Structure 1
Amino acid sequence: MTTRTLDEAVLAEITADTAGGDTTTDHRRPLTFVDATIHTLDPVIGDFATADLLLGGDVIVAVGPGLHTAAEDDGAIVVDCTGLTIVPAVVDSPYLGMWIDETGFIHQELTADGRYDETRGGRPHAYQGSFWIHGDRIVYRDDLGFWAYGRFSDDVLHHAGYAFHRR
């Protein structure tokens, strides 16, 4: 395995979106960060003192120890992150912030670290977990283990039969 230090040449290779002038196909190679401290922001998975993180495009494909063993087989760019910390995050989503249902009973906060915290009837932290947004869809994974889904439409979050408005 060829491990490289993060420098200008690696950054140029990482950010190259296309190859051979073809602008219709994404030719980015997988990217593997190795030997980093990784904070997953997911209490179920936990954090890793030393592990690898594999990116496929702009999606985290895998996280954990030993991913680097197949990195070259996949044609990945491998970056040595010894001594560095990785914290995956939601970046610049227009849907972050506080959402309140029409009765005011439920307050749901979506934060930039990909976490949500829901207050119900004044009871704080009634539900907490991770969320992912893709287009106008939101997927929740509660810390208790269940999944839930919602949709954004005309600045309204539709989730579990409720209509939430941003505060």
Structure 2
Amino acid sequence: MSVTHTETGTEVGTDTVTWNNKALDEIAANDAGRPVLFANARVLTMDPLIGTLPGADILLVGALLVGIGPGIVTAAGDDNAIVVDCTGMTVVPAVVDTIALAGGRGQRADYVGTLTPGNTGDLLVVPDSLAADVASAQATLLTRPEEVRALVAAGQPVLWSGTDAPGRATAPEAGIPAAQDLSNSPRIGVWIDENGFLHQELTPDGRYDETRGGRPHAYEGRYWIDGDRIDYLDDLGFWAFGEFRGGELRHAGYAMRLGARA
């Protein structure tokens, strides 16, 4: 097979295209918390303060983006960073913020998915020729995914060289999940708000039953717990959610405690 090595680190052959495969192998084997540096890229941050950066570096530590701008690569050796050479590439946020694209964000803090230090490391790497702006770069993922050099979610590769990255996360199966076995969950019982208006009973079979203002069975349905999140599917057909925080169950503006009131 004929192979050509380009200045971007891409190998083009008759039946394969690879890009920074050595770096990908290092990322896949990274169990020591090594930083990952996407270097020498044109970066469209979508951050109104930072803007567009030519020839910039993006430093990820775990799931977080911790640094962005020119010159970070000079410290890569000191930090034992994994370096991904992005010469000839453009990096944009992987999260689509159509309101920001339309100029509808009034405050910098309102922007969703910008490449800003402190934000989650969600980014997309495509060739410069496919990235006239953020919208066209993001459209490449949907229309020409084989051209995507990297899609990274929370610091972990999802796509690399247009194919699935090793060990990538996969989407949950579509459809309503089966009932969970919650017989040993410490969250089973009756959750009651501070005024005693809302009583929400969670039963081990994955059902909930709400009493509101003394009105029994105001809402009933199924629920699922995932970490500190609870999702509800009411028998009427609507979905809702809540969060467990510091001994409280927060749902629809209410803060409830387990067995807080009789």
What is the TM-score normalised by the length of structure 2? 0.33
Bigger Rg over Cα: 2
Higher helix fraction: Structure 1 or Structure 2? Answer: 2
- Which is bigger in relative contact order (C-alpha 8 A, separation at least 6)? 1
TM-score computed with the length of structure 1 as normaliser:
0.49
Question: Which has more strand, going by share of residues?
Answer: 1
